[in-house]
Structure 1
């Protein structure tokens, strides 16, 4: 099969110049000409075109060319149009089918996480009381602890102090030093557990997702009654959770 070529050669070369400048940083005309294997008069015309459109500029003192922030403006507009639920939904459904358990998807909001999607399991008669739009504290939930485990110590402490810390169940962790040890364990394993800390009789396994800036904004969890969430079952589910975490992080980066 013949190699496909850009039908508009000048467009191909314009983007090649932009990609090269993005990789090298500020560069002179001769350097760019050598790197692109193009005559310097051709590169000069391409650079002038990029400058005219606002994608490049030339330093008047050094004569070197560099990209402007216009490309970032376009990138941000694209990212703002990305529907994270559209990306997440297929993964959430697959995770529910793989495990037979209810799967939640949340977004962090201050000291709480907001349920923004939920895929209920149809394979069991026990339904979770959680609803899309409802909130759950960060300090006593699997999704919340997964998110907090990615943050710097000062951010964790600030959120802890801003939270209304109290026992929701006999298992809720309200001692800060013990809470920090729990977060350290989460960092090692890559996933978090809610051992009946938010709702008695329910255990959850959760993981957070980072966006293209490396910031943890979303998290997902598998929830089930304790009789189906034994330690052995948690170990089994952790494989599915870590796999989904890796796949979704790549798609969102």
Structure 2
């Protein structure tokens, strides 16, 4: 017998089904369109819509009779966003990643067209990696997480980055031309992860995966870094499984639909 306190409330579940469907459709909907789309009877849909209208979350245009979500959701979203400390959410996952892989784990975001490291957990075989300490910055084009963040860039933004920051060389492996960087980004977009194979520092290899928010935008990334004799090609798949599992869990907490 189910505990009365843990049984799912079907009315609440249906309300959120309506909200999420209206949000996904991105256009005002008539009652029949909405009820058909979510598979609820019109009477049930109308009852729930009326409750949402009474609370100011849904608006009905009196001329078209179509329903829309209101900007009240923006106020709630802004409130949640302002109180959300992403670094705190990520930290426990970095600990788990470092423990499972034995490598140093990182969390970084973009700021002023540079990569900024916000958290790091030292691995068993930790080495001093000069560009990857908390608060330090690294170039987007030469770092695993940085290249993931470049997937957000349009052609004009990418050209602006090159004009403003350049594509400086750090090792023989650094991508220093627009053509090579563009090819790398296309590859990353298809495979869903990025590598820094001795592009920032000789002898250091990195595997990075993205963190996405509710809009699907890449807002940062997590990665592991270690020496080339620690992060070997035959270990990539196992490391990626751990990283992707963590990134999906973090992204889901930020509202991203997997």
Partner of 2:217: 215
1:185 aligns with 2:187: yes
Provide runs of 4+ in structure 1 moved above 6 Å: 12-15
1:128 aligns with 2:129: yes
Q: Deviations over 1:23-59 (max 9, x none)?
A: 4644469x98952449x8xx49x83x75565334343
Alpha carbons 2:31, 2:42 under 8 Å: kept: no
1:246 aligns with 2:253: no
Structure 2 SS opposite 1:238: helix
Q: Structure 1: any 5+ residue segments left out of the alignment? A: none
Structure 2 SS opposite 1:149: helix
Alpha carbons 2:126, 2:226 under 8 Å: kept: no
CA drift at 1:88: 0.9
Number of residue pairs aligned between Structure 1 and Structure 2: 242
Distance in 2 (CA, whole Å) between partners of 1:21 and 1:174 is: 46
Distance in 1 (CA, whole Å) between partners of 2:100 and 2:19 is: 45
TM-score normalised according to structure 1 size? 0.79
Pairwise CA RMSD of aligned residues?
A: 3.3
Structure 2 SS opposite 1:227: coil
Distance in 2 (CA, whole Å) between partners of 1:175 and 1:116 is: 28
Q: 1:98 aligns with which of 75, 100, 111?
A: 100
CA drift at 1:235: 4.2
Alpha carbons 1:96, 1:102 under 8 Å: kept: yes
Partner of 1:195: 197
TM-score normalised according to structure 2 size? 0.77
Which residues in structure 2 correspond to 1:94-173 (within 5 Å)?
94-121=96-123, 123-124=124-125, 126-129=127-130, 130-173=132-175
Alpha carbons 1:209, 1:245 under 8 Å: kept: yes
Distance in 1 (CA, whole Å) between partners of 2:139 and 2:19 is: 46
Alpha carbons 1:142, 1:206 under 8 Å: kept: yes
Partner of 1:35: 42
Alpha carbons 2:103, 2:126 under 8 Å: kept: no
Distance in 2 (CA, whole Å) between partners of 1:186 and 1:220 is: 15
